Amino acid sequence: MGAEAERDVLARAVIGVPPPGHDLPRTGRTTLGAVPPGWTLDVVAKSHGWCGLAPSAYDEDRRRFHRTLALPDAGPLTVTVDETGGVSWGRVPGTDVDRAEVRRQLRRMLCVDDDVTEMHAAFARAPWLRWDPVRGGGRLLRSPTVWEDLARMLATTNCSWSLTKAMTTKLVDSLGEMGPAGERAFPTPAAVRAAGVDHLRGVIRAGYRAESFVALAATTHDVESWLGSPLSDADLSAQIQSLRGFGPYAAEGMLGILGRPRGFAIDSWVRVKLPALLGKRSMTDDQIRKRYRSFGRWAGWALWTELTSDWFDPL
């Protein structure tokens, strides 16, 4: 994710730019429904930098997550989730179909139904990781669709976090369907395909990724089936890496977003931050992997949990 993205998460204010419509008088309301013990909005929303990428924002001071969703009847609509699990929005009351779809999309995004008991059991062996199960950690904020998560992941490859944010913002602003309050949903694959490589290069400033965005939008893979897929971790990783522009690093990150054991995804930020947390001058990649080897398939998650342990207030 990188040091720059971490600074965004640790801003202790509003992460990202709240989408249009977030401040309208509340017209419609629903709830997330039942949540598992230990689940908290703050821990999931701040689990990684996705909370600050358009069309999302997280108000840490008020513990409110804002997101523009594409709904069947209302179209693009900005909804707000608070720390109690209450969901509200302005502009229109919303139909029963819209309310059901708001709840479905948000439960998916906020990993409400993910089973993390196996991971938490593995963490129980390590005193320095026991804080995570108490907070209900082990869940990475995801998007309403796998397509969007893949597009966002593609926007993180070989570039700064500032460029990632700029690309996702331009994708939404130039290709996302717009609602009456000026809110825009994340663009569909069809919109990206129709825009073509020239738009991705000239307007989105995607550079060499332009062809990969268009190829992703046109893929024959049923990527939406990857969330909850019976495929093994290795087979799913291979399918992700078969996509243009997706190497091992992007695949490791996507596995975690899909609710799988995430890979190590060791980058320059990890190589600097982990030794600093542990009071060491430096660590090799092999030394980093060795520290978490005993966690088996949850080793990558153990690394991520330790790296982000200072993102949250002390218990």
Which residues 6+ apart lie within 8 Å of 220 measured at CB? Answer: none
Buried b (16+ CB within 10 A) or exposed e, 103-114: bebbbbbbbbeb
pLDDT higher than threshold 80 for residue 23 = yes
Q: Are 24 and 91 in contact (CB under 8 A)?
A: yes
What pLDDT score does 280 carry? 94
Model confidence, pTM: 0.93
Distance CA 169, CA 159 (A): 15
**What SS3 state is found at 226?**
helix
What single string gives the DSSP state of each residue in 229-263?
--S-HHHHHHHHHTSTT--HHHHHHHHHHTTS---
pLDDT higher than threshold 70 for residue 65 = yes
pLDDT higher than threshold 90 for residue 172 = yes
Q: Per-residue pLDDT tens for 85-128?
A: 999 999 999 999 999 999 999 999 999 999 998 988 888 888 88
More confident site: 269 or 148: 148
What pLDDT score does 244 carry? 97
**Average per-residue pLDDT for the chain:** 93
What pLDDT score does 246 carry? 96
Q: Per-residue pLDDT tens for 155-168?
A: 999 989 999 999 99
Q: pLDDT confidence of 12, banded at 50, 70, 90?
A: low
Q: Are 131 and 125 in contact (CB under 8 A)?
A: no
pLDDT higher than threshold 80 for residue 5 = no
Q: What is the mean pLDDT of residues 49-62?
A: 95
Q: What is the mean pLDDT of residues 256-271?
A: 88
Sheet strands side by side (includes 28-31): 14-15, 56-59, 64-71, 75-82, 86-89, 28-31
What pLDDT score does 135 carry? 75
What pLDDT score does 282 carry? 94
Closest CA to 266 of 285, 241, 294: 285
Beta strand 75-82 pairing with 56-59: unpaired
Contacts for 300-303: CB closer than 8 Å, 24+ residues apart: 300/252, 300/256, 300/261, 300/262, 300/263, 300/264, 300/265, 301/119, 301/138, 301/256, 301/261, 301/262, 302/122, 302/123, 302/126, 302/129, 303/264, 303/270, 303/274
What pLDDT score does 264 carry? 84
Q: Are 1 and 269 in contact (CB under 8 A)?
A: yes
What pLDDT score does 241 carry? 97
The CATH architecture annotation of domain 3-114 reads 2-Layer Sandwich (3.30)
What pLDDT score does 167 carry? 98
What pLDDT score does 314 carry? 64
pLDDT higher than threshold 60 for residue 315 = no
